[in-house]
Amino acid sequence: MFFSKKKQNEIDMSRLPEHIGVIMDGNGRWAKKRGLPRSAGHSAGADALKKIVTEANKLGIKYITVYAFSTENWKRPKEEVDYLMSLLLDYLRNAEKTLAGEDVVIRAIGSRKELSQEIRDQIVKTEEFTKNNKGIVMNIALNYGGREEITNAAKNICKEVQEGKIKIEDINDKMFSQYLYTENQPDVDLLIRTSGEQRLSNFMLWQVSYAEMWFTHKLWPDFKPADLHRAIIDFQNRGRRFGGV
């Protein structure tokens, strides 16, 4: 009895989620509570992110996808969008230093054409710089939208059908996945969203189809490695059936 109870409070290292998705929400409310500008919340959020990625990597998680900027976030005031873009640029630029020795592979997923040339160049550099690392793969969802990803995949498939490279009969869900930004990566097993909101907000619509969802009222800048542990333990205590019995 004692042992089985104890076990439920510890991570079972043999059954880790392979891919964790994180909707990092609540930066604005975190700042507001402190009488600070929203930008201060975003900056604190970037710090929280570094700690969480480091922890996930230490645990041996293989993939983490973090929602940094949605295709809908352009609706925000220009000042806030500019600030978020400059934070992301810094994050990518400093990846070399901040993730030094941590062996993280950094990738950006989302539509690049709306991003500034500076950010696009930096993405290429950072991806190139980290591509041979052996640790966790971190997808930064940047100008990412699940619907955009799926329609973009559909367009590319249509093009290949038109060019005679593939046949309509070849299209199935496995091959369709190969046209998404996450090609060759496993589906999301555990989806975490902070700040108390319980919605997807256009995040990884395809990849979360059988993900376990985990919500917390904590605001993203307050999310600590111990919270990640909690989410993983909860995940391990659920029964996943994938439609079976």
Question: In this chain, which of 16, 25, 88, 236 binds Mg ion, going by CB under 5 A?
Answer: 25
Please list the residues that pair with 142 across neighbouring strands: 69
Q: Does 21 bind ligand IPE (CB under 6 A)?
A: no
Give the Cα separation of 161 and 176 in Å (integer).
13
Residue 149 lies near Mg ion (rule: CB under 5 A): no
Cβ burial 39-50 (10 Å sphere, 16+ → b, else e): bbbbbbbbebbe
Cβ distance to ligand IPE smaller for residue 26 or 135: 26
17, 21, 26, 110: which one binds ligand IPE (CB under 6 A):
26
Which amino acid belongs to residue 55? Answer: E
Active site residue 152: no
Q: Is 55 in the site for Mg ion (CB under 5 A)?
A: no
Q: How far apart are CA 168 and CA 216, in angstroms?
A: 43
Give the residue with the Cβ less far from ligand IPE, 48 or 157: 48
Q: Does 91 bind ligand IPE (CB under 6 A)?
A: no
- Give the nearest distance from C-beta 111 to Mg ion in angstroms: 20
Q: In angstroms, what is the minimal distance from the CB of 37 to ligand IPE?
A: 12
Number of residues interacting with ligand IPE: please give it, by CB under 6 A: 17
Q: Report residue 193 as tokens.
A: 């969203």
210-213 long-range contacts, CB within 8 A, separation 24+:
210/240, 210/242, 211/21, 211/187, 212/17, 212/238, 212/240
98 binds ligand IPE (CB under 6 A): no
Beta-carbon count within 10 A of 23 CB? 24
Q: Which of 9, 25, 170, 172 is catalytic?
A: 25
23 touches ligand IPE by CB under 6 A: yes
CB-wise, 29 or 229, nearer to Mg ion?
Answer: 29
According to DSSP, residue 50 is labeled H
Query: Is 25 among the catalytic positions?
Result: yes
Query: Catalytic residue among 73, 133, 152, 202, which?
Result: 73
Beta-sheet strands, E only, within 1-52:
19-23
Distance, in Å, from the CA atom of 65 to the CA atom of 22, rounded to the nearest integer, reads 6
Shortest distance (Å) from residue 175 CB to Mg ion: 34
Span near ligand IPE by CB under 6 A; candidates 61-69, 147-155, 156-164, 236-244: 61-69
Contacts to Mg ion by CB under 5 A: 25
